[in-house]
Chain A
């Protein structure tokens, strides 16, 4: 079984400042890792994912996350945030075998202020 812990429920930050959203996971098997973003009253959009290979993965809108196996972490970072990045961010994990159901963290509300 897997579990995900997102250490911060809310992260306020000023526009153009850097941000890190923390995610730690627990699993007895090898996993895939994901970050999803959710805007109000909408479904989830995949931001980035780690399946294998390079431990640093990037999204097209400037976010990046690094898989750290020894620390069982997959923190999300952006060097300079925009107002439009304000949303709920979910870290998720799935096992590499079976039917790959996603287990989500509690979510982190990123609030970017001008």
Chain B
């Protein structure tokens, strides 16, 4: 199947700083990418949907100014957690949608804010 590469796989940052997570579709063009957040032992919660070249659509309750999403090309989407706080610590997962309606997931990023 297609491959989505997510980087970094884990990151530790200080409270108040910003962190950028990259999501790349390596062998297909993902016109749509999704960003999920997963708390320990819980399911994935959709944060936002990004379409290449347009503004992301955020789910209810997700702060768009805190979680900045950029989808500048068909193979790259980024999520920037701005002014991170300990409560933002979580597992973030991206996925890219191919033309056959299948979503391919990145490996996830473990963010720890101290």
List residues of chain A with CB under 8 Å of any chain B CB: 32, 36, 41-46, 49, 51, 90, 94, 99-107, 109
Chain B residues engaging chain A, CB cutoff 8 angstroms? 1, 4, 6, 32, 34, 41-44, 46, 49, 51, 91, 93, 95, 97, 101-108, 110
Q: Residues of B contacting A44 with CB < 8 Å?
A: 44, 93, 95, 105
Check B107 against A43 for contact (C-beta < 8 Å).
Answer: yes
Contacts of B51 in A (CB 8 A): 99
Q: Taking A49-B102, A99-B32, A102-B103 as contacts, is the C-beta distance between A43 and B46 under 8 angstroms?
A: no
- Establish whether residues A41 and B110, one from each chain, have CB atoms under 8 Å apart when the complex forms: yes
Contact pick for B43, options A41, A46, A104, CB 8 Å: A104
Q: In the bound complex, do residue A101 and residue B108 qualify as a contact, i.e. CB atoms below 8 Å apart?
A: no
Contact A105 B34 (CB under 8 A): no
Contact in complex: B44, A90 (CB < 8 Å): yes
Across the interface, B101 reaches (CB within 8 A) one of A36, A45, A51, A109, namely A51
- Which single member of A42, A100, A106 contacts B97 (CB below 8 Å)? A100
CB-based nearest A residue for B10: A41
Nearest opposing residue in chain A for B4, CB measure:
A43
**Can you name 21 A-B pairs with beta carbons within 8 Å?**
A32-B101, A36-B105, A42-B107, A42-B108, A43-B4, A43-B6, A44-B95, A44-B105, A45-B105, A46-B104, A94-B101, A99-B49, A100-B32, A100-B101, A100-B103, A101-B34, A102-B44, A104-B43, A106-B42, A106-B43, A107-B43
Shortest distance from the beta carbon of B88 to any chain A beta carbon, whole Å:
18
